[in-house]
Structure 1
Amino acid sequence: MDGVVAASADATRDEIKIMNVYIWDMDETLILLKSLLDGSYAGAFDGLKDHDKSVDIGKRWENLILELCDEHFFYEEIENYNEPFLSAVKEYDDGKDLTTYDFEADCFSSPYDDLNKRKLAYRHRAIGEKYTKGLEKILDHHMIKVWNDLYSATDKYTDGWLSSAHKLLEEAMGKSTAESTSQHSSINCIVTSGSLIPSLAKCLLYRLDDVVAFENVYSSWEVGKLQCFKWIKERYDGPNVRFCAIGDGHEECTAAQIMKWPFVKIEFHPDAPHRFPG
């Protein structure tokens, strides 16, 4: 009998699934933009990187992000109604079929009442659907080439920062390692200080959409990173769930300390111990 009980206990332990939840900062961690625009990335290399090229690449990204937001993500209409995540106003969504819905004619505007929250929820749902489909289904051939060329030029200029970040997120999910077993599952979340819609556009443009679902992108713009961390903990918490935060700033480091989560600091200086690639 003791042998049967022991065997049963071992089987139960084998079936226990560990979930790893990785909470990533976006800017200057998974992607580079601000440091390219202000030249601080090039400055860290003591003249080995072309400063003007850095600024030019940053401006091209800035323009591409804004174009995607304005042309496809309703940004001009909803930029003043930033929510911390796409499902934040889901309770107002009545599930209406949006196939033939005329977003231009629904008069979305202030005041921010229940009716307009429903219109915002429709837009959030449409954005989520576009995110899931991917940019290849949204952009025309010319813009896809512009995007691909800019991604390649940026990755080359930054010594593979973007592709290395993507690979690391793949590995975090267990896509390319032994972690991909029945005993482990992993989820990537992004908590960014940027507003939500441009952050979702960045995920698509920087090719993170296959390793970060739109439901897992959080904007701490108004609520702070600690609040976003608490939401993620509430959403995924359990006896076999492990959390880890990764970023370059003080806010996410402090929030991780309060949550008692391990924190990994990312820096772009070439001599830094934690940087991409690496």
Structure 2
Amino acid sequence: MESKLNVYIWDMDETLILLKSLLDGTYAEAFNGLKDVQKGVEIGRLWENHILQICDDHFFYEQIENYNKPFLDGLSEYDDGRDLSDYDFSQDGIGAPCCDVNKRKLAYRHRIIAHRYGQGLHKVLNQGMLKSWNDLYEMTDKYTDRWLSSARAFLEQCSGAIIGSSNTELQHVNVLVTSGSLIPSLVKCLLFRLDDLIEHGNVYSSWEVGKLQCFTWIKERYSRQNVRFCVIGDGWEECEAAQSMRWPFIKIDLQPGGTHRFPGLTLRTVGNYFAVIYGASDAENDKERNE
């Protein structure tokens, strides 16, 4: 069976989730008075508090905030596999990862972060925090007319495999490239219920290296015949990087009533962008005929 792969490269803020536009009021202002701007700001601040608290309490952020890496496995070669069950992270005196010793200490933390990400927040938070988080998610989803749950549902559609009539298997993978620092971005994936659809190894921070470099790494990682890439985001940097890579770019728009937003974006629309650059696959044609 012939196999093809679609790699969806997502921006995070104002694409899969809403945060900055809640905090600065631009999301509500797009509705011309139909949305309470102050309520959106308050919701955004609650999310900020949740993100920072979980980062500091469970993901070592206070210790490693200044040691951002583009992805969690970047220092895996320095991890000697030591049993960390009795390791005292508060007393190891981690410093800037300029030497092998500190690179190993940071790699230890990255290993624990990857493990906790894989477990999910239900294994990390107490019942009170879980309720607060779930209530905030539902309140935000209602305020944003189901932006969060629609984005998650779309990610589910961009997962798995489709078998076409010509016995072609079309596989999908979701990758996140965010301009934010790595640890808060991983925590956002957990809080916004994206962790089961985006693996921790598929989360990249372009904070220091830029999106073009991250896109280059992703291309090398999936370098094989029959692979297609599509970038989905709201910013100029991912647009320019996609153009440099000659990949299709879908610009997310906050304006109500549009198709390039959530809810609104469909696999048919994404397939049209793919088709312009790569041509349509048999499996996608079959899916469109069945919709």
The alignment's TM-score, normalised by the length of structure 2, stands at 0.87
Give the 5 Å matches for 1:262-277.
262-277=248-263
Secondary structure of 1:116's partner? Answer: helix
Which residue number corresponds to residue 135 of structure 1? Answer: 121
- Deviation sequence 1:12-46 (CA, Å, 0-9, x none): xxx11111110000000000000000111111100
- Distance across 1 between alignment mates of 2:47 and 2:254: 18
Once the two structures are TM-superposed, the CA of residue 142 in structure 1 deviates from its matched residue by 0.2
Matched, 1:38 2:24: yes
Is 2:203 aligned against 1:217? Answer: yes
Structure 1 match to 2:95 = 109
Deviations for 1:89-126, whole angstroms, at most 9, x for unmatched residues?
Answer: 11111111112211112111246311001000000010
Is residue 49 from structure 1 mapped to residue 35 from structure 2 by the alignment? yes
Alignment equivalent of 1:260, drawn from 241, 246, 253: 246
Describe the SS at the equivalent of 1:253.
helix
2:229 paired with 1:243: yes
3-state DSSP of counterpart to 2:16? coil
- 1:53-81, Cα deviation, whole Å (9 max, x unpaired): 00000000000000010000000110100
Q: Tell me, which stretches of 5 or more residues in structure 1 are unaligned? A: 1-14
Structure 2: runs of 5 or more not aligned = 265-291
User: Any idea what SS the aligned residue of 2:82 has?
Assistant: coil
Residue equivalent to 2:270? none
- Secondary structure of the 1:148 match is helix
Q: Which amino acid aligns with 2:42?
A: D
Q: How far apart, CA to CA, are the structure 1 residues paired with 2:163 and 2:157?
A: 9
Q: Does 1:199 align with 2:200?
A: no
1:84: which partner in 2? 70
Counterpart secondary structure, 2:90: helix
- Partner SS, residue 143 of structure 1: helix
Pairing 1:161-200 to 2, within 5 Å after superposition: 161-174=147-160, 183-200=169-186
**Cα gap change, 1:212/1:111 in structure 2, threshold over 3 Å: closer, same or farther?**
closer
Partner of 2:281: none
Cα RMSD, aligned residues only: 1.4
Report how many aligned residue pairs link the two structures: 262
Query: Is the CA contact (8 Å cut-off) linking 2:4 and 2:168 kept in structure 1?
Result: no
Poorly superposed stretches of 4+, deviation over 6 Å: none
Q: Distance in 1 between matches of 2:256 and 2:106?
A: 43
Structure 2 counterpart of 1:25: 11
Residues 105-162 of structure 1: per-residue CA shift (max 9 Å, x gap) = 2111246311001000000010000000000000000000000000000000000000
Q: Which has the larger radius of gyration?
A: 1
Q: Which amino acid aligns with 1:107?
A: G
Q: Give distance in 2, aligned partners of 1:119 and 1:65.
A: 23
Give the secondary structure class of the aligned counterpart of 2:104: helix
